[in-house]
Amino acid sequence: MQKKILVTGAAGFIGFHLSQKLCANNWDVFGLDNLNNYYDLSLKEDRLNLLLPQNNFKFFKIDLVEKESIKKLFEEEKFDYVVNLAAQAGVRYSLENPYAYVDSNLSGFLNILEGCRHNPVKHLVYASSSSVYGANTKMPFSVHDNVDHPVSLYAATKKANELMAHTYSNLYKIPTTGLRFFTVYGPWGRPDMALFIFTKKIAEGKPIDVYNNGKMKRDFTYIDDIVDGIFKLIPSIPEPNPNWNGNDPDSATSFAPYKLFNIGNNQPVELLRFIEVIEDKLGKKAIKNFMPIQPGDVPATYADVDDLINAVGFKPNTLIEDGVAKFVEWYKDYYKIGKN
């Protein structure tokens, strides 16, 4: 029997790459996406056009908030596994359009949980975010630390996803694993992310806004490393922790079949160094416009990934220089830069 897996957000950056890997490994992949216009729709469509020709990939254009459509899909297809990557992304956009986050990240996620409840799956893996660490300053960030001080609504919805998942793991024994992603980058990346914005503006000779005067640090993680980690985790079903203690609660495990993992590079890079690498790969200098830190942003992210290493042998091994080079090469090819 081939394994049936639902990947939500399949036309998105991580969902696209994960779907490619699953298809290549003979999984039956059911991709779901609402194809919204949060960023350039043609990029999503071009990703999807690479997936559609594969005979073990099937696409559904559904929004997570469409309760009846999600219910019907789960009832008809009876998935073995679910990876929920669909969400309204972006910290800064959550300041402008908060309702989009509640609809997609809370109501939408509830529909996925209900689908798993009424049509039991072996494992639900879902996207959380490094943004849940909020005001925490102890580095590296650990999944065993308290994360009760988010600094953006986006972060609050991702923390809520973890709490919702725990509730369903407890009540209905659904095995759930939350993944706190740390600044994912690479080919086919999101146009609202720093690498894409910087590459585009530097290539066009336009100034770039450098927040926190360049003193930001990010645990930039290459897409192939992220996908490898997710792929290894899907069949790794979380078990209740027999040593879990309510007097000293561990937030990363539970008496229920529930786990949380950081998925990052474990090597933070200062923003100015990141820009230097982009300049080097583009062969062009940036015009920098130094700015204060933006509301909702955190000055640094740094992932403790020991738990993920111990669980599935996760090993991020892409250097920032190599990852950025691959992105720039893709960008120039995709947008036909330097070609007649």
Closest CA to 38 of 19, 16, 13, 65: 13
Residue with tokens 């950025």: 324
Residue with tokens 């986006």: 154
Known active-site residue 154: yes
Return d(Cα 3, Cα 26) in angstroms, integer.
8
Return d(Cα 63, Cα 12) in angstroms, integer.
13
**Active-site residue among 39, 81, 126, 154?**
154
Q: In this structure, which long-range contacts are made by residues 197-205, counting pairs with CB atoms below 8 Å and at least 24 apart in sequence? A: 198/274, 198/275, 198/278, 198/286, 199/278, 199/282, 199/327, 199/328, 199/331, 200/331, 201/286, 202/278, 202/279, 202/282, 202/284, 202/285, 202/286, 203/282, 203/284, 203/331, 203/332, 203/337, 205/284, 205/287
Give catalytic residues, as residue numbers.
154
